[in-house]
């Protein structure tokens, strides 16, 4: 006579393994797998980075036309509050993200550097628009590209970039902070190994800087 058995249900398996675990009867590998399936482990760095990326406090800083599109990011259609970044702080001591929105003139560059120095670590900078990333439409005596005096994490092209583009840039910065920075087009087109070999050099300080690193005058 064949005994018809029902296949053992997943729930029953889990219950029996739980009983074994509590009695101390589970073999080694099974314990590892048991813990992995139920407990979220991570390093403290990654947890902190996750939290930092999700709670950026931008600085209220608008220079020129890109500032108008930056204000549209705060408005209701492209709502920056969806991501939790709506708390724009006016004081650089309380902010950790500076969005350089607009053209940086030579009179303003030392001021921006001073504001950057006043921000506390960890801090990031987004260069929004063509004028501060490269020279933009106006390649002339009066402008400074922002790379010359401060480290920029994300450059956003456009003149001015749409508010959706700025949002995309901020989210890319969030990815970068949280540790899974995308490789961009290399990832999409599976082009691993096409990176250009950069010249050897000292990348820790810019050739031209208004305040040298370690100079406390900027604080």
- Which residues contact another protein by CB under 8 A? 60-65, 67-69, 71-72, 75-77, 90, 92, 102-103, 105-108, 111, 115, 131, 134-135, 137-143, 145, 147-148, 150-152, 159-160, 162, 196, 199, 201-203, 205-208
Smallest separation, CB 43 to another protein (Å): 23
> Can you tell me the distance from the alpha carbon of 114 to that of 142, in angstroms, rounded to the nearest whole number?
19
Cβ neighbours of 7 (radius 10 Å): 6
From the CB of residue 194, how many other CB atoms can be counted at a distance below 10 Å?
Answer: 8
Q: CB of residue 44 vs another protein: minimum separation in angstroms? A: 24
Both tokens of 137, joined, read 């439409």
Question: Of 145 and 169, which CB lies nearer to another protein in the complex structure?
Answer: 145
Q: Could you tell me the smallest distance in angstroms from the CB atom of residue 99 to another protein?
A: 13
Q: What is the rounded distance in angstroms from the CA atom of residue 35 to the CA atom of residue 196? A: 43
Comparison of 49 and 165: residue with beta carbon closer to another protein: 165
Secondary structure E strands in the chain = 97-101, 124-128, 154-156
Cα–Cα distance, 125 to 116 (Å, whole number): 9
Pick 25 or 84: Cβ nearer another protein: 84
User: In a 3-state reduction of DSSP, which class is residue 143?
Assistant: strand
Of 2 and 202, which CB lies nearer to another protein in the complex structure? 202
Q: Helices (DSSP H) in 159-212: which residue ranges?
A: 163-178, 185-188
115 or 171: whose CB is closer to another protein? 115
Nearest distance in Å: CB 148, another protein: 5
């Amino acid at each position: 006579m064949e005994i018809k058995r029902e296949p053992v249900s997943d729930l029953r398996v889990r219950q029996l393994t739980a009983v074994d675990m509590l009695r101390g009867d589970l073999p080694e590998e099974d314990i590892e797998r048991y813990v992995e399936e139920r407990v979220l482990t991570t390093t403290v760095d990654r947890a902190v980075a996750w939290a930092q990326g999700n709670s950026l406090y931008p600085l209220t800083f608008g220079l020129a036309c890109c500032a108008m599109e930056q204000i549209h990011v705060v408005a209701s259609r492209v709502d920056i509050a969806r991501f939790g970044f709506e708390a724009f702080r006016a004081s650089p001591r309380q902010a950790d993200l500076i969005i350089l929105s607009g053209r940086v003139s030579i009179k303003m560059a030392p001021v921006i550097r001073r504001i950057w120095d006043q921000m506390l670590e960890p801090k990031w900078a987004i260069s929004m628009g063509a004028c501060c990333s490269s020279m933009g439409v106006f390649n002339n005596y009066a402008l400074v590209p922002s790379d010359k005096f401060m480290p920029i994490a994300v450059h956003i092209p456009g003149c001015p970039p749409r508010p959706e583009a700025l949002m995309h840039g901020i989210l890319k910065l969030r990815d970068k902070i949280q540790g899974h920075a995308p490789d961009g087009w290399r990832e999409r087109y599976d082009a691993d190994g096409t990176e250009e070999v950069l010249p050897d050099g000292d990348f820790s300080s810019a050739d031209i800087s208004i305040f040298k690193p370690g100079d406390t005058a900027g604080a």
